[in-house]
Structure 1
């Protein structure tokens, strides 16, 4: 089957009714609440190491359980809901997360912590592909901006982890996580409202029987051509580089700062907060920049421009490292939402699947990175590990092999 023929399949939810900003901001807020719940897990690492005597490898397994469950399930959920959209899966998923947080507050052992984390991972796996679909449906023609609004909520939630540690977990310990059942309950309430809008929107945009038949035929004939498969493979490598580096900073840099700069747990959280906060800013800016300058260009710059900074970071003092971390977070994460939109346009008509693949893959890579880096730290130490991972963004050079934005447009038009 030729590339031109393959790319002619209709794109669901393409009816342009303008950008629905209230829905975008609400789903972005829900993303913030969902990911702030997830951020409780790495935020608890210093607490659990102190109170339970867990090793870095065990902490890595906790991060692995959270991210791997989410990453494996996200593309599965996306693939299923591309065929059978489930608006009310959103509040149901957050209910699972609420139960996980409740279990986490009372977990007496390493095993029960893992079980609680799995519940949180399941809730996240349901939320992310369906939340991305809502953002796509509400985007109108501003897909980059819409995805940025949605994704910046998640990155902002992750940025709250250091504040959660300093303000809640340090004074209240493990039990302090119970307060996040309130956060989950608020998210569930918002998502019930989103689900009602989602359901009514589906009725307006229900594909015709002819379109559904065409989608089925194209699916059965394998719509992903060799060129698309190669591009997806490159995207996987790029996500690997970004996720492993982000995992190293968000999960273990606090220990590095405590060891190198002789800081307390609360003081070391400032470094993670700065990295994640500027990462959220970069996530938001990436979408509008991609709308103007092209998605491929933003992806290339976001990785390669960080290389000098990541190599410099392990060799600077405490004050300069804050500035360097801020710049790394800002530049590196500018491609996060852009990668999702690029993949959605690379394989039209598979909104949930591509969102689940790219975001889920980011979680999965972070999961593998969490356990691998934790084990590496146990064997060779913090400083050698931080120096080793500083070269990961060099993998961004592969982005030059991605099809240009114009090529993607030509594929979609069937030229």
Structure 2
């Protein structure tokens, strides 16, 4: 596996880690608040997480279009600052007023910052080494998953030690170096347009009617089914184990285990998809993942950690592959493609979270997780509908032409 070396890559990767650390703390913090301060349950937690994810998902395509024109220096840097600031604002209001709805609005609007950042980071990560775009994206998403992993664990540990969410707010200082390095390394609008004139021409000349809508529709189907498991279910892992009587430090840790495995699974399967048919990689990883969600509610202790590890690694393994597929289908507008596919992933995940939360209220959270497992089997089967990689398809056609010429 090739490790990226471009400083621009590392700037957006660091920003990704900081952004997703704060975004991932939400479920643990709301779970703690639901037991001591706010009169909320799984339905309200699902509603808050769904609203936040939908805000991010619907905004990403628009930010992606903007980034295609400008390079996204301040969309990236400012996005991270916005995410951290509004997360802290929302939770402070919830803590001070004990009113769910006063917390709900700024908590959800924090995702506008995440929506601004992700198209910037995805575009620059992929273009820093075009020969290894999927691998580069998998490394980029690993840093996001590291944030998703360490965020719940850190939040849970701080809550366990202090009995309050207030110490978590001090982590906002990490946004300062992230904003600085992105502002330094992401090119400004003039530099971006001067170094990429041919791309700007292609973007201005995009023929929307000529886009492969059938392939995009099939990609959407795979994304929709997969997103119930990843990222939709991740918000309820702390709730699942809090109901089992686990302390905040431990339900934060198992949530971190899930997201950490998701990141490393993305790197492994993303690099694997650069070498073999991505459809096989996506289908196999999701088929192996499905049973882990079915059995996760029924285990405890070390076995629960093992299943969370497998569930995260296998469900997250296809993330960078799906983003790379979208970029390949829209080569003249990678930031828009990244924003659109990430928006769809997070949007479907938001609907998945709302579905799981509502289902849990009527049938119980264990049954909801079992249903997630069966939906994941459907996602695995649908993976074979994905288009073949363009590079591999072109290579196969070239080989056939060469064979015909030699006859």
TM-score by length of 1: 0.86
Post-superposition CA distance 1:49-85 (Å, at most 9, x none): 0211212222112102210110000011112332444
* Matched residue, 2:31: 46
Post-superposition CA distance 1:129-164 (Å, at most 9, x none): 111111122123111121111111111111123212
Q: Is the 8 A contact 1:101 1:180 kept in 2?
A: no
Give how far 1:371 is off. 1.9
Separation in structure 2 between the aligned mates of residue 264 and residue 334 of structure 1, nearest angstrom? 29
* Matched residue, 1:192: 183
Give how far 1:335 is off. 0.8
* Matched residue, 2:210: 223
Secondary structure in structure 2 of the residue aligned to 1:287 = helix
Q: Is the 8 A contact 2:55 2:108 kept in 1?
A: yes
1:180 paired to 2:171: yes
Give how far 1:267 is off. 2.0
Give how far 1:333 is off. 1.0
Secondary structure in structure 2 of the residue aligned to 1:142 = helix
Give how far 1:350 is off. 1.8
Separation in structure 1 between the aligned mates of residue 190 and residue 286 of structure 2, nearest angstrom? 38
Secondary structure in structure 1 of the residue aligned to 2:138 = helix
Structure 1 runs of 4+ aligned residues shifted over 4 Å read 406-409
Q: Is the 8 A contact 1:295 1:339 kept in 2?
A: no
Separation in structure 2 between the aligned mates of residue 268 and residue 372 of structure 1, nearest angstrom? 22
Give how far 1:191 is off. 1.3
Post-superposition CA distance 1:301-343 (Å, at most 9, x none): 2212223333333444433222122122112211111111111
* Matched residue, 2:387: 403
1:68 paired to 2:57: no
* Matched residue, 2:358: 375
Give how far 1:279 is off. 0.8
Secondary structure in structure 2 of the residue aligned to 1:53 = coil
Structure 2 residues not aligned, in runs of 5+:
402-407
1:234 paired to 2:218: yes
1:148 paired to 2:138: yes
* Matched residue, 1:206: 197
5, 9, 20: which one aligns with 1:35: 20
Q: Is the 8 A contact 1:105 1:176 kept in 2?
A: no
62, 77, 81: which one aligns with 1:95: 81
243, 247, 269: which one aligns with 1:286: 269
Structure 1 residues not aligned, in runs of 5+:
1-17
* Matched residue, 1:117: 107
Post-superposition CA distance 1:255-287 (Å, at most 9, x none): 322334x32222222321221111111112122
Greater CA deviation, 360-369 or 196-205? 196-205
Give how far 1:95 is off. 2.6
Greater CA deviation, 167-176 or 139-148? 167-176
* Matched residue, 1:7: none
Separation in structure 2 between the aligned mates of residue 92 and residue 197 of structure 1, nearest angstrom? 13
| Superposition pairs of residues 124-143 of structure 1, within 5 angstroms | 124-143=114-133
1:359 paired to 2:342: yes
The structure-2 alpha-carbon separation of the partners of 1:308 and 1:40, relative to structure 1 and needing over 3 Å to count, comes to: closer
Secondary structure in structure 2 of the residue aligned to 1:305 = helix
Secondary structure in structure 2 of the residue aligned to 1:162 = helix
1:163 paired to 2:153: yes
- How many pairs are equivalent? 389
Separation in structure 1 between the aligned mates of residue 164 and residue 15 of structure 2, nearest angstrom? 26
The structure-2 alpha-carbon separation of the partners of 1:256 and 1:86, relative to structure 1 and needing over 3 Å to count, comes to: closer
Separation in structure 2 between the aligned mates of residue 233 and residue 274 of structure 1, nearest angstrom? 33
1:302 paired to 2:285: yes
Separation in structure 1 between the aligned mates of residue 68 and residue 128 of structure 2, nearest angstrom? 16
Separation in structure 2 between the aligned mates of residue 103 and residue 145 of structure 1, nearest angstrom? 36
* Matched residue, 1:243: 227
